[in-house]
Amino acid sequence: MSDPSTESFFWGTATASYQIEGAAAEGGRAPSIWDVFAHTPGKVERGDTGDVACDHYHRFKEDIALMRDLGIQAYRFSISWSRVLPGGIARPNAPGFDFYDRLVDELMAGGLTPFATLFHWDLPQVLQVSGGFANRDVVGWFSDYAVQTAERLGDRVKHWIMLNEPSVYACLGHALGMHAPGLTDLQAFRAVTHHLNLAQGAALRVLRSTNPAWRLGTTLNLHRGVPADGAEASAAMAERHNDLWNNCFLGPLLSGAYPIRILPELEPFVRSGDLETIQQTVDFLGINHYNRAYIQDDSNALLGFRSVAPPSEVPRTSFDWEINPQEFRDVLLWLRDTYPCPPIYITENGAYFDDIVSVDGKVHDARRIDFLDRYIQAMQEAQAKGVDVRGYFVWSLLDNFEWACGYRPTFGLVKVDFNSLQRIPKDSYFWYRDFIRQHRNITHPQTASASR
């Protein structure tokens, strides 16, 4: 096993199972909470579902050929829990694991390093019926799934990401009701927040003892809040947002403690020994970064605040997300200065812009190129100031199912025509290909900015 400190910097792209795979009822896959949510009228724009998505399940070879031509060295994908363990626990589903076997083999044959995420939100529905992450039993369910999956693929997959953005899963899924499982229940939100941390810690512990050569980490979304107006209450709520969104996951993992202001809310769910379980050594931290949140005090909201669009003068993507590369640099510096932080991979960064196919049949997405260029530069500024970043993954390789917004928001370097399922590489794909060619042999991340 190579020492990760000598690994080359990884340029990559990221996707997630429910957002791209399709084949929702094939090969013995059982429904996940996202199948149920998307099929519930009114939950997803236009009634879009992941039934077919990008049909990556059938077209993964074509997609890996696109990755090879792009020249990426690493690919982050997620495992669909309900494809490999349709019952949620215990009995593995051979055709489900076979799919990931073939996917990993094809990646390795193409010289691509796989980064596998175990949980990118698509919990088997059968486990949600038993309470999902609000039920403390999820600690055992998740550990069992993690071990079975890592044992099956871990002879080739070295990098394992436990969770993707637990804050989004807890908050949008259990407090705001905007994501599966669609709850608006403060107690469930609090229980889920703690149980995500606990399940992650238990899985890290058992995977570490199963195979010490695996590189283990998790992916958090760093999304700082700023007050949207001059009210004192909004400033206080921006701090609350920071605690709930960022510090509730960074704190227990890296420092063994929940933020002091939030602890009383979580305490009913925290048992003796839990914080020791959560505080595990991680080989890396995955960071997803998109934007800041503009926070407004709102006493009618379940969490006490709401997130609003940025002020009109602020540059933004088609999602109304602030474009602010300095914040990307600064949040990395803040992380380094605030927590004992392991090496970092930027496991997602990217932008939705409305794309059009021009008369020449191409997608001239100059705004996405500009965005990526500026954000990569900001990351390199953080590296130059000593932040240990070892990889960068664009979200996303393909346009895909953007959760409650369905197929409308397009984040891909490759356009997908959701009628014909044809793939059309955008200008940003060719830009990233050329960028990687110029920057591919960087072994010491800190030299990255010098070579630009």
Q: Which lies closer to ligand GCO via its Cβ, residue 201 or residue 412?
A: 412
242-277 CB burial, b ≥16 within 10 A, e <16: bbbbbbbbbbbbbeeebbeebeebbeebbeeebbeb
Applying the rule CB under 6 A, the residues between 233 and 252 that interact with ligand GCO are none
The answer to whether residue 75 forms part of the interface with ligand GCO (CB under 6 A) is: no
The answer to whether residue 355 forms part of the interface with ligand GCO (CB under 6 A) is: no
State yes or no: cis peptide before 181, omega within 30 of 0: yes
CA distance 416 to 122: 22
- CB 113 within 8 Å of CB 70: no
Q: Which lies closer to ligand GCO via its Cβ, residue 169 or residue 234?
A: 169
Applying the rule CB under 6 A, the residues between 6 and 35 that interact with ligand GCO are 16, 19
Among 49, 82, 164, 197, binds ligand GCO (CB under 6 A): 164
CA distance 452 to 446: 12
The answer to whether residue 416 forms part of the interface with ligand GCO (CB under 6 A) is: no
- CB 174 within 8 Å of CB 181: yes
103 backbone dihedrals φ, ψ, rounded to 5° = -60, -50
The answer to whether residue 221 forms part of the interface with ligand GCO (CB under 6 A) is: yes
The answer to whether residue 410 forms part of the interface with ligand GCO (CB under 6 A) is: no
CA distance 141 to 151: 16
The answer to whether residue 291 forms part of the interface with ligand GCO (CB under 6 A) is: no
The full DSSP string for 118-173 is EESS--BHHHHHTTGGGSTTHHHHHHHHHHHHHHHHTTT--EEEEEE-HHHHHHHH
The answer to whether residue 322 forms part of the interface with ligand GCO (CB under 6 A) is: no
Q: Which stretch in 63-71, 89-97, 161-169, 259-267 sits in contact with ligand GCO by CB under 6 A? A: 161-169
Q: Which lies closer to ligand GCO via its Cβ, residue 19 or residue 247?
A: 19
Among 197, 288, 383, 410, binds ligand GCO (CB under 6 A): 288
Tokens of 72: 């990426």
Among 100, 142, 411, 431, binds ligand GCO (CB under 6 A): 411
Q: Which lies closer to ligand GCO via its Cβ, residue 97 or residue 395?
A: 395
Catalytic residues: 165, 348
Applying the rule CB under 6 A, the residues between 363 and 402 that interact with ligand GCO are 395, 402
CA distance 78 to 288: 15
Q: Which stretch in 164-172, 252-260, 332-340, 353-361 sits in contact with ligand GCO by CB under 6 A? A: 164-172
- CB 4 within 8 Å of CB 215: yes
The helix/strand/coil state of 311 is: coil
Applying the rule CB under 6 A, the residues between 257 and 286 that interact with ligand GCO are none
- Least distance in angstroms from the C-beta of 349 to ligand GCO: 9
Contact footprint for ligand GCO (CB under 6 A): 16, 19, 164-165, 168, 221, 288, 348, 395, 402, 411
